[in-house]
Structure 1
Amino acid sequence: MTNITQAPPPDDLAQLIATRAAEHWNSDAKSALTRLLADVLGDYDAAYQLVEETGRKLLAAEYEEDPQ
């Protein structure tokens, strides 16, 4: 019997890519991941916004602040 790994749901995949992009300080890597996320979401502006929001949340969590 073949072991088939199930792909994560699209929302989880989008959040994973956004998190990886937000963690990158290297602009080339961040841009590449944002473009990948845009392919997943079908919308570059939504991808960019998700990466930025995720970055703010990560920074807030690091400094234990409210992300808003």
Structure 2
Amino acid sequence: MNEPTPKLYRIPAVMAQLSVSRATIYRMVADGKLRLVKIGARSSGITAESIEKLLNATHSN
């Protein structure tokens, strides 16, 4: 069975949505707070699910 393709946002879109720098996005990926998915050799995206989890955790505190 095929798994559904996750909705992905490009790095600049996530930077704007979260109001953080590119370095902060990659730091959040390294810390496991956001999930990065490689799209191609030079492309990647952040899953919408991981953004929602981060925002929900931020608003819950």
Taking structure 2 as the reference length, the TM-score comes to 0.30
Larger radius of gyration: 1
TM-score by length of 1: 0.28
Between Structure 1 and Structure 2, which shows a larger proportion of helix residues? 1
Question: Would you tell me which structure has more strand in proportion to its own residues?
Answer: 2
